[in-house]
Structure 1
């Protein structure tokens, strides 16, 4: 067995029987008796306040896998857990298999996302180093990071707490030692300037001293930060005995805190939340490097570049031509590297809405780094890669009187924590990217979920019915000749379509194709969709929300069961006879647009799933997309068919977005059946068994990567959350679900489901 040297020893690998025997031998020792069995009513009256204080602890770079490691001593397994205290808190309180960090998976951006509830593009701390073109200055965590000019966006929780008359304290946290002239309330009441040499023990002792203060001076919210196991992970790599030892060291500090609270008889009078900012992956020195100079010889002199797992490139000459020269030179050159214009990055990365993010971004495979000639620093571990990599995930453990006991909950994004902590401290949250109530299911006594009066839904849009009922003597339309490629001046033959249906049949189809209700426009903010032009069209195979003013389908909703029919591949577009003469249909809209050879017309409800041929060819089901991406949509349809065979009936809602970069969205749900659930269907399926996967597929060709990515990788790369889709569509989905169930779906991460494809990056 290798001895543990300064450069990092590998983790010992005993055979499975030996490990099993050691585990069984030490089971009796691995009790959590140090966690005092008590309840909040036992808190000392002189100490207890209205709400228990919250202590938020960050273990930098602590990846979830560390919790499954056994402790080591002199290179041998001791049998107990390396993080025995945290394991006990997780088993006795509430935990998650992982917490998803924000992108990029870097220290400063994620600590500030946790404490503000904002994605980095919103709070502005987009990396540990970056350039601000408006300030004409560079940010670095090593120099000048406490200058308030960098921290103008977002409100951290210590500020929220102090503004609302309560006390906050921080023993280190990125941004907490920034002081604002004449704005004292933006800083915590108590804080320390960051000093890495401060011992972990002193940090814990100070938190305990804060807990000893009288109630009018005691912090309602406190942070505690440890640099480990991040530092050792960088130095020698995460898969080493040295990293395991550091896990034990920080775990002992958590135990010291718990013991100190127990001595004061307040261990069950404080809500403790333990998190990390990101994970850690092997990144061997001098290996798995892509030298940008090989493809752009002048990159060092012509750009401002921040290198590493996530690399940003800002051309010094700020022109479209210069960006295309550099981006084109890097395009598809190395299979471990992808280059994007930032507007082409998947929406899930939330990496657009600040000028601090330059136009050229480089995405690397895990463990790979971009360099210029050679690495500027040496390390054996790193982070920063896409948050779809499992090794980039963070931890979440919570214990205290507010939290449920002995529960493991679904993973969630770290921006959701801010709202939860605001509730625990009883303050009103500032504006953030989380969802109020998304984590209330973690609580022993969750508050009532009151519907915001400003978010009332519109009434169901009017249903347009047949021509015979509503359009007697209607003026004849132009037809779909141009869309069908029949040239100017021609008209499509008038086709009689039998579309009459009874009200009972309409109701049956509404249930079949929208089992949880049709998408509604949210009226809390100005919408891009005119309310009075939004109509509902009910077809045998699908439902459509259609904007009769713009002539564009808003969404289609349908159920897929089994293989594609393949019986409607040949046909012609026809005008929907239900549209009034003052309405604009897709054919009419497109007839006034200059036609190009680079556009394909797709069926929003796929014709491959149609049982009624004419339904699929109505122009209210027509959407034009660039020819270069039509094959991605076709592959998505094939994948829907495959999933409907392997997973049972699917409910699909899809349509175009009108915000951000143009996309076609897909929201797909199914019921995870088991042997006792034969009676469940897409309407009655319990939320815990309801599978959901969403996508935002760009309808613009990727400028630099389009020719070197497979269709299925493209689709997996553009996975999205339900919350993402609601943000970019102005829709609220599944209005018939109870609020608690809807929040369950909104809180899920992009890694939650493999319904259509496994998005996990390897």
Structure 2
């Protein structure tokens, strides 16, 4: 790395060297496009290369001036003819309005598409402007789509230095606004403002940060000489000696719940919230520190720091669900709908939108193509539902096991159509992989039961505010033989004493339940009693009831997730069996999808409008060390875990191989928007 002090800015000139492709070696000064970044430009770089002498806008004194080739733009009478006017020339010197927004309205191009014989292919070429030659003939100039990208280091630089709430940040924001105004006015001056698509997007937000709000790992007994810390708003630890043997679990344990006011949570990468999709790669560090908002992490405090000498008041890189990490997206041009607002979306969706604007077919990516069609005037891509791979098998009642425990209750036959309408108001989840499963239909819930896993892939039920609910419990000591059996009740699976049953269904009418129904339709094995007794019970007893009371009616879908290789995708049956060995397979996570109608006082069965969804992917680990609370009062710390492990429905689909919301009252593109939406709970902070 070259020391910046080696450069001598006076050692040379940029005359005749502007934007040279080879960077000059020190002590000579540079004139390439990166010299500003490395503070190595010659003294006359701005004057010679950026041509800043005349500024970038006309003034009243410059209107009608003689042409000056040393200026970046002209205000002379011939500038329109030569195409090098400053962006405000027409408005200032000719008295024409430069307000782009005042002339923006819905419109339709009236000219004909480019004919093939002209050498312009409609698929790849974009019409820019029509020129009327006669009453019946139009000439259209066609050009290949180009992408011009401009990046500004502001307001990021001053955001770090001053903080996001500083009044002094107004000035760089005004400068950015002025630059965008110059761009739009220039497009209008060239009559291109209705022909060019413009996207304005930020790469991240900014949060308050300060030297006095910093955690030091040396305070936690970590041997700082053995590790490298990527410090800041999202800490990552790696050993300095890559060949050294160390136990990341031990390091995480030593950094977990050690201080009464600890401002970070330590995670193994496989335990990070699934919504982050940041685990399965050797380049990703084993140990991660998720920081509280406004707090940073460093290895050790600096020596002899002078009070008041902090040089930064803002930072980014915190958990991206935090509202201060959100940024801006604006789209303007002929391809975008007029005055349309879309729900917040993740930046992984931008690639597909850009491909749509350019008429390109996107390669496979992490986005959901079509989920942002609502912002486009004529979307070139129309998404379709994926085809179901495996349909449910019909149950052979003759081979169905009978209960050996009589609960003294009976089940009346219910109309299956009514059951589906009640508990599957948005369609049955489709299985997108080869499997063997059947539907278990009951008056209070419906399950998609897997013969191979001996547990449901999904269980769904609808709750109403008027129904009386109670949580049903079933322990391993009361588990009948049928809960351990296979398709015909003969294939027994060994069960460790360390696992117990977890019920996916909150009991609504216990008198109608049969023990075979319980074991086959709504339970999954659990190896953490604390998860079952505290987290899962709280979800059923408190969370679901709360959402039911708030929304009058909710539909709930729950089920298991197996992601032992933590790649964010569904484990195959072979992987699940390989990891479980001879024992019963135990899920790595459980998912919960809660849906309600956007309209007030409307049940999910009656909903004919938009839907709202909240999803969780809850980790299933041997202990609850993720929370530092040992209190029996679960309302605080379980809610915190739920907020942390919020997720998109699309995340659940990737981890289960299921496709949800197959039949909704909304267009399919709006359903995709629903699937890619993530409830952040930031309004609760």
Q: 1:283 aligns with which of 199, 209, 225?
A: 209
Give the counterpart of 2:333 among 393, 400, 403. Answer: 400
Cα distance in 2, alignment partners of residues 269 and 623 from structure 1:
57
Counterpart of 1:345 in structure 2 is: 272
Residue 553 of structure 2 is matched in structure 1 by: 649
1:285-304 correspondence runs (5 A): 286-299=211-224, 301-304=225-228
Query: What is the root-mean-square deviation of aligned Cα atoms in Å?
Result: 3.5
SS in 1 for 2:148: strand
Cα–Cα, structure 1 residues 568 and 282, in superposed 2: closer, same or farther, change >3 Å?
closer
Matched, 1:429 2:362: yes
1:417 aligns with 2:318: no
Instruction: State the 1:609 CA deviation.
Output: 6.5
Q: What residue in structure 1 maps to residue 521 of structure 2?
A: 620
Residues 607, 165 of structure 1: alpha-carbon distance in 2 compared, 3 angstrom cutoff: same
Q: Equivalents in 1 of 2:520, 2:557: separation in Å?
A: 18
Aligned to 1:733: 660
User: Displacement of 1:166 after TM fit?
Assistant: 8.5
- 2: CA distance, partners of 1:50 / 1:746: 39
1:360 offset after TM fit, Å?
0.4
Is 1:743 the counterpart of 2:669? The answer is no
* Alpha-carbon offset, residue 636 of structure 1: 0.9
Q: Deviations over 1:114-138 (max 9, x none)?
A: xxxxxxxxxxxxxxxxxxxxxxxxx
Match of 2:614 in 1: 693
Mapping 1:106-185, distance limit 5 Å: none
CA distance in 2, matches of 1:387, 1:330: 23
* 2:494 pairs with one of 593, 598, 604: 593
C-alpha distance in 2 between matches for 1:223 and 1:350 = 28
Shift of 1:412: 0.9
Deviation digits for residues 217-267 of structure 1 (CA, Å, limit 9, x no counterpart): x65222111111000001111111221111110111111111111111111
Closer, same or farther in 2 for the Cα pair 1:687/1:448, shift >3 Å?
farther
When residues 37 and 760 of structure 1 are mapped into structure 2, their CA distance, relative to the original with a 3 A threshold, is closer
- Residue 372 (structure 2) pairs with residue 462 (structure 1): no
Instruction: Name the residue aligned to 2:282.
Output: 355
CA-CA distance at 1:560 after TM superposition: 1.1
The alignment partner of 1:221 has SS state of coil
Deviation at 1:379, TM superposition (A): 1.4
Q: 1:405-428: per-residue Cα shift (whole Å, max 9, x none)?
A: 112221111111111111111011
Q: Which residue of 2 aligns with 1:501?
A: 413
Inter-partner Cα distance in structure 2 for 1:439 and 1:447 = 12
**Could you tell me how far apart the structure 1 residues matched to 2:98 and 2:192 are?**
23
In structure 2, relative to structure 1, the CA distance for the partners of 1:621 and 1:45 (3 Å cut) is closer
Cα offset, 1:548, TM superposition? 1.4
Partner of 1:442: 375
CA distance 1:319–1:509, change in 2 (3 Å): farther
Q: Is the 8 A contact 2:99 2:185 kept in 1?
A: no
Point out where structure 2 has 5 or more consecutive residues left out of the alignment: 1-96, 127-140, 304-309, 567-587, 630-635
Cα distance change of structure 1 residues 406 and 290 upon mapping to structure 2, 3 Å threshold: same
Q: Name 1:155's counterpart in structure 2.
A: none
Secondary structure at 2:596's aligned position in 1? Answer: strand
SS in 1 for 2:514: helix
Task: State the distance in 2 between where 1:553 and 1:574 align.
Answer: 17
Partner of 1:174: none
Answer yes or no: is 1:515 the counterpart of 2:440: no
Give the CA deviation at 1:340.
0.4
Please say which structure displays the higher CA radius of gyration: 2
Q: Deviations over 1:24-61 (max 9, x none)?
A: xxxxx997556566846389999x99899xxxxxxxxx
* Distance apart, 1:617 and its partner CA: 2.9
For residues 483-498 of structure 1, the aligned pairs below 5 Å read 492-493=404-405, 498=410
Q: Which residue does the alignment assign to 1:545?
A: 448
CA separation in 2, counterparts of 1:663 and 1:460? 24
Matches within 5 A, 1:210-229: 219-229=145-155
Q: Secondary structure at the match of 1:256?
A: helix
Aligned to 1:290, what secondary structure does the other structure show? strand
Counterpart secondary structure, 2:368: coil
Query: Are the aligned partners of 1:557 and 1:652 in contact in 2 as well (CA < 8 Å)?
Result: yes
Deviation of residue 320 (structure 1)?
A: 7.7
2:544 is equivalent to residue 640 of structure 1 = yes
Distance 2:245 2:417 in 1: 53
Displacement, 1:333?
2.5
CA offset at residue 750 of structure 1?
Answer: 3.3
> Which of residues 328, 331, 336 is equivalent to 2:256?
331
Secondary structure at the residue paired with 1:223? coil
Secondary structure of the corresponding residue to residue 427 of structure 2: coil
The alpha-carbon distance between structure 1 residues 538 and 374, as it changes in their structure 2 partners (threshold 3 A), is same
Q: Which SS does the other structure have where 1:226 is aligned?
A: coil
Over residues 443-474 of structure 1, what are the superposed CA-to-partner deviations in whole Å (9 max), with x where a residue is unaligned? 1223462537xx31246413437x4xx24xx7
The unaligned stretches of length 5 or more in structure 1 are 1-28, 53-163, 168-213, 480-491, 752-757
Pair 550,408 (structure 1): closer, same or farther in 2 beyond 3 Å: closer
Map 1:235-274 → 2, pairs under 5 A: 235-274=161-200
Q: 1: distance between equivalents of 2:554 and 2:421?
A: 14
- Taking a change above 3 Å as real, the CA distance of residues 49 and 328 of structure 1, as seen in their structure-2 partners, is farther
Q: CA deviation at 1:736?
A: 1.4
Contact 2:592 2:615 (C-alpha < 8 Å) held by counterparts: yes
The CA deviation at 1:686 is 4.1
Aligned to 1:312: 236
User: Judging changes above 3 Å, is the alpha-carbon distance between structure 1 residues 391 and 464 closer, same or farther for their aligned structure 2 residues?
Assistant: same
Task: Report if aligned partners of 1:236, 1:380 keep a CA contact under 8 Å in 2.
Answer: yes
2:507 is matched with which residue: 599, 607, 621?
607
**How far apart, in 2, do the equivalents of 1:697 and 1:265 lie?**
54
Aligned to 2:540, the other structure's residue is in SS state helix
Deviation per residue, 1:689-717 (Å, 9 max, x gap)? x1100110011146853444811111111
Report what 1:41 is aligned to. Answer: 109
Cross-structure match for 1:560: 463
State TM-score, norm by structure 1. 0.63
Q: Match of 2:236, SS?
A: strand
Q: Rate the CA distance shift 1:544–1:258 in 2: closer, same or farther, 3 A.
A: same
